[in-house]
Structures are given as structure tokens and as C-alpha cells.
Structure 1
Amino acid sequence: MTNEPFLSIVIPAYNEERRLPATLTAIMTFLAAEPYASEVIVVDDGSDDRTAEIATAFPGVTVLRCDHRGKGFAVRAGALAARGSIILLCDADLAVPIEEWPRLRAAIEAGYPIAIGSREGVGATREGEPWYRHVMGRVFNGIIRLVALRGINDTQCGFKALRREVARDLFRRVRIYGDDAPVVRGAAVTAYDVELLFLAQRRGYPIAEIPVTWRYGAETKVNPLRDSWRNLRDVLRVRWNDLRGRYDVTSVPVEEVAPR
């Protein structure tokens, strides 16, 4: 017997008082029908609205308050605080419905240490996305493949599951949005995912890319110009850090990470 939950859901949130109630209602309703123990952690990324107050009002939701250092820092803080055997990272707008979680769970239980939602490939569905956003995403993915990561069609989908020990191993190694990440202004959409998955590949963790349904939100915080530049900068910093030997990327023994 253990008091540890099976699943931890980590939700980074910056000024999400409008979208968070529906997201938490959907997640808590879904979890109430599941037989396993779970926890939900909302990481308040220095919001200046009622985000933390709203999250605290939901029974069973833990609120972790951070300085406003961006999504990458918030996700890391939540993942390192999570107690579940599996940690699911999802966005505050729940663009990927929580009902897609069993797909990622199946991959984790099949032996993959990491399973990521993908908006690309057979079986994936994009709903309501403007054409220019899709083009921007594919161009950015091409840059990622060229500079840092190979073999992954969609690094930026905000729906990822990791075994707890793997999440802790990777998030303790990140450099861009680690303990010394600077305080930022405004919404800060980042490419923290690229650094996380880069380290996962270098450490030898197999990654299952699972097609999911994704819904474009009209209230998205993505600023095409500002965030495209920030994301590109993050990708280049990953490569620069690697060239300078700033990452400890000793491979994990194969028997510890290979899918069963």
C-alpha cells in the first residue's frame, strides 16, 4: 500500500481566470470516474488575476505559486513537486481533451518512459486552427529537426506524460528554464519542450509520439512574432549549451529505458 497517487496532472497557468474553471471541471470530472488515486497541481506562474484563487477553490487541487518566469519554469516546478507514478503535463486551456490521456497511458504502460501527444501523423486531428498557425508550426518543427531533434513530428503539443523518475531526471538537467530562470513580463510561451526532449534523446529514453485531437483556442496567448523569436532563441540555446558541454547527457543503461 502507498499514499502516492498513480497520476499527477501538472497545469502551468498564467492569468487563466477565464479558461481555468472549465479545464479543472473537465479534469476533475474525468478523474472522479477513474479507479486510481490522482492529484492535480496548478502552477501559478506569477499571475496578476484570480488564477490562484480560482484553482484553490477546487477541492483536491494543489496550487503551487511561482514568480513569473514563463511556462518552462512553471512546468518544471510542478513536475518536480509531483508525487504520481506518471506525470501528465497539460495546458490550462486543455486544447488536448483529458479524454486523450488513456492513449498516452497505454504507451507508458507498454514500457515507454515518455509519451507525447502529437498533432501530426495518422490519427491526429486539428480543430479550428488557422492555416498560418499550421504553417508556422511546420516551419518551426523543420528548424528543430535541423538544429536539435530528429524523429519527432511535433515537439510543442502541450500534452506529455513521463514516468516520475524520468521527469525528475530530465527536469533536474534543464538549463534554460532551471532554478536561475529570469523573471519575465507578459505571457511567455517558450520552447522548453525542445530542451526536455533533446535531453531525453541524449539520455537514451525512447519517446512514443501519440496522435491526439487538438483544438485551437480563440483566446490563445501565442504572439506569432514575439513567441516565434523566443522559441527560435530557445532552440539555438539548446544547441549552444550542448556544444559547450553544459549538459550531462550520459546515457541511461538500455535495460532501464527500453520499452517492454
Structure 2
Amino acid sequence: MSSIKALSVVIPVYNEEEVIISTIDKIHSILKKLNIVYEIVVVNDGSTDRTSEVLMSYGGEIVLLNRDVNRGYGFSLKEGIERATGDWILITDADGTYPLEDIPLFVSECSHADMIVGERSGKSVRMGLFNKLAKVILKKLIYILAYKWVTDINSGLRLFKKEMALRYWDIYPDGFSFTTTLTVAAIIEKYKVKYIPINYYKRTGKSHIKPMRDFFSFVFLILRIVTFFRPLRFFLPISFCFFVFSVVRSLRDIFITNAIGTFAVLLFIISIQSFFFGLLADLIVVKFRGKRINI
């Protein structure tokens, strides 16, 4: 039994004139069979092709948000979610990569989770070697920092409570890292996240992702989010490393000069400062936990 009162489907669009209408029609066809209240919010992110013209001439029912300037994937999602009226939000891409036919499965699971994520591990997954390697590295990094295995950190097909997304509104970036931020925040804050294996098809049209640049952006973003929510998990290992270095350096100094040198003392001071900085940050996080995040 679905716990959804009203569903808002948010689709960010940038230069997708070839496939956007078929995507919208397919979603309409699927959701009408589910017999739920829904809307489709399409955000045209300053497309330079005929996407705007195609959308404005579309005969079906959609909520269209047109923008002349390209502001990014995350910005478009935020704009669409803000406009959405549903208590649950489904996001997907317009490029034909995600299996829209699996939407009913997502809806059926919403009573058991706060967010359902499409894990790109099905029988047909068209993903480049670099993207697969980056995905593995990011998964391991999150486990080291957050002690949680995340099977797909940035899948663009997911269903989540609007209320949960709004809680972290001011830390979402405007670029492709929106889904990464939402995933890491939900995992660290112990929301119920369920993963459903899905296929991932070859996209229609040209990809707008720059793999190398976006990979390092994801790494820095994960470090930032973990530091924001669980600062001790970031600063404690740093403090421990500097402490070990200071001990090793002290033993070396005593063995060679029979005295502890300035550099060993400096390493020890950095270790203590890192620990207390993390402890202070952790106390601040605990104090303000439960409130909407603003930075």
C-alpha cells in the first residue's frame, strides 16, 4: 500500500529535444495506471536547442519552468522541488538512461523507506570504465568516513520525501552533486534508504558530465558533508596521524640528539588542536541537530 498522498516528478532538462517528449509521455502512461495524484514538473535549464519550443508546444499536462540561462543540474532540481506540490518527489533524467518502467516498484516501496534509490547494478548497465572506477572509489571513501556502504551514491533515479530534502536545502550545490549530497546526508542522519537494482541505458544525445573534474568535485563534496555532519570522524583520524608522527619523530630525536626537537613538538600540538577542533565542531552539530541546515 503506497503512503504517497501526491507525487511530483521533477525532470531537469538541458538540450534534450530528441527525447524529452517521449520521456514525459512514458511517465504519464505509467503513473496513470497507478491511480495516484501526480504532477510532472519539467525544468528547462537554459537549453540552446529546440527543447524550449518542443516543451511549450507539448499538448499534455506538465508544469513547465523555463529559464534562459543555464544554472546547472542541482539548481534545476531545487527549482523544481520548490515548485512541486507533492509530499513525495521522484527525480529522473530526460535522456533515456533510466528505466522508467521501474517507477511502480519505487512507489510500492515508499511505505518502508524515506528514500528509494535506483542502484545501477542491473543486467544492462551502460557505464564507462572511468565512471565505474570513480564509483568504487567514492563508495570506499564514504565507508571510511561515514562507516556505511553506499551502493550507488549519485543515481539520478530516486524517490524521496520532500520534507527530508528540504531539511538540507541550503547545502545542495547547483551542479551534478545534488544527488550525492542528498545520499550522504540521508545516510549519515540515519534515514531509511532502500536501494533497488535497475538497468542503466546508453543516453540519447551528448553527455554534459566532465568525468575528471566532476570526480574531484564529488570527493571534496563528500569530505565537506562528512565534516559538516560528523566532524569527529574527519578530524579524529587526522589528529591520530599527527600524534603518531610526533611520537615517531620524538623517538628519532631522542635516539640521535638525546632530546625532543621542535618539529616533534609542533606535530604534537597540531594533533591536539585537530582533536579539540573536531570535538568543538561535534558539540556544535549535536546542539543544532534536528533543525533545518543553513550555511
Instruction: Give TM-score, length-normalised by structure 1.
Output: 0.77
Contact 1:14 1:51 in 2 (8 A): yes
Between 1 and 2, higher relative CO (CA 8 Å, sep ≥ 6) is seen in 1
**Pairwise CA RMSD of aligned residues?**
2.8
- Kindly indicate which of the two structures has a greater share of residues assigned to helix: 2
SS of residue paired to 2:171: coil
Change (3 A) 1:199 1:133: closer
Q: How big is the shift at 1:33?
A: 3.3
Letter in 1 for 2:49: D
Q: Percent identity?
A: 24
2:220 to 227, 233, 252: 233
* Residue matched to 1:175: 171
Letter in 1 for 2:202: Y
Contact 2:177 2:218 in 1 (8 A): yes
* Residue matched to 1:113: 114
* Residue matched to 2:102: 100
Contact 1:203 1:251 in 2 (8 A): no
SS of residue paired to 1:33: helix
CA offsets per residue over residues 10-67 of structure 1, 9 Å max, x none?
0111222233223223222323433222110111223233323322333211112355
d(CA) in 2 for partners of 1:65, 1:5 = 27
Q: How big is the shift at 1:149?
A: 6.8
Change (3 A) 1:239 1:155: same
* Residue matched to 1:193: 179
* Residue matched to 1:258: none
* Residue matched to 1:150: 148
* Residue matched to 1:11: 11
Change (3 A) 1:57 1:31: farther
Q: How does 1:26-65 map to 2 (within 5 A)?
A: 26-58=26-58, 59-65=60-66
Q: How big is the shift at 1:82?
A: 1.2
CA offsets per residue over residues 185-239 of structure 1, 9 Å max, x none?
xxx5x22222212322343321111111221326332222222233223223323
Change (3 A) 1:52 1:84: same
Number of equivalences: 233
d(CA) in 1 for partners of 2:64, 2:102 = 24
Letter in 2 for 1:175: I
2:289 to 230, 250, 258: 250
1:129 to 127, 132, 136: 127
* Residue matched to 1:140: 138
d(CA) in 2 for partners of 1:175, 1:118 = 24
Q: How big is the shift at 1:100?
A: 0.8
Change (3 A) 1:149 1:211: farther
